[in-house]
């Protein structure tokens, strides 16, 4: 029984490693694909840090309707 558990954990480990590799490289492919297809440009998010005044235009605007607070303090 104990050996079973150890084996099981061992297999879980190997499975996890493979799973991690697949997920990670799938993610790489996903990132490049979305950029190629024009779904999303990841590199533009880098600009969030550069242009970060409170008044500057968001890279992706969150519509006011989605904002969870009411503009109360003017």
Residues at the contact surface with other proteins, assessed by CB under 8 A? 2, 5-10, 12-14, 16-18, 20-21, 23-25, 27-28, 30-32, 34-50, 52-56, 58-62, 64, 66-69, 71, 73-74
- Min dist CB 33 to other proteins, Å, is 10
Closest distance to other proteins from the beta carbon of 67 (Å): 6
Minimum distance of other proteins from residue 20's CB (angstroms) = 5
The dihedral built from the CA positions of residue 65, 67, 72 and 74, taken in this order, carries a sign that is negative
Q: Give Cβ neighbours of residue 43 (< 8 Å, ≥ 6 apart).
A: 35
* Cα Rg of the chain (Å, integer): 22
């Amino acid at each position: 029984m104990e050996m079973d558990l150890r084996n099981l954990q061992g297999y879980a480990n190997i499975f996890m490693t493979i799973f991690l590799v697949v997920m990670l490289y799938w993610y790489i492919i996903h990132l490049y694909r979305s950029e190629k297809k024009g779904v999303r440009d990841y590199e533009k998010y880098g600009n969030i840090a550069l242009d970060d005044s409170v008044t500057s235009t968001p890279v992706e605007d969150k519509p006011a309707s989605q904002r969870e607070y009411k503009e109360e303090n003017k």
